Copies of this chain bind each other. A is one copy, B any other.
């Protein structure tokens, strides 16, 4: 089974050594916190904690790749590239990190690779492991301690889809405030998670 074989072959020390050469120290600490929070969230939701930890460890492999390299790797792998990705290729780092996990560490587990690829923008229909890593990336303790963040952390423990929706909304508010482009996949993820959550959900405007 690909899940167990992937778990067996991934050498955590090898990944950490690679990260030391490709990611600055503060980001390495973020990655370790995501690994830990993803593991904890997976346990809380009766998912495989080891798989979640591995996805967390691998999620930011390409975080510091230069824009040209991200675009080149994405094009070579025929990833979908939107106008927003072209304006801000950094958004491709999640999808490209999944490519690096395959090439550098021979990761074949589709669930782990999807969770890595979807950690920034999510994806409509994504699995629960992807939700866990998406949330761990946004909500790990290093992101701060506002009441809003603490509420999202509590929500993530009880309802992954609702937490994804609300985390998307928080990101959208940030992007609006900071006059940044909004990626269409973030909206698709947000609408999908909203429709899976309790409350008003099938109206867009009165």
Contact = CB atoms under 8 A, between A and B. Distances in A.
Nearest to A192: B83
Given A184-B187, A184-B188, A195-B181, A205 B175 contact: yes
Contact of A173 (B173, B181, B195, B200): B173
Nearest to A88: B204
Work out how many copies of this chain go into the complex.
2
Contacts of A182: 187, 190-191, 204
B176 A169 contact: yes
A179 B201 contact: yes
B173 A205 contact: no
Interface of A: 83-84, 87-88, 90-91, 120, 169, 171-176, 178-184, 187-188, 190-191, 194-195, 199-205
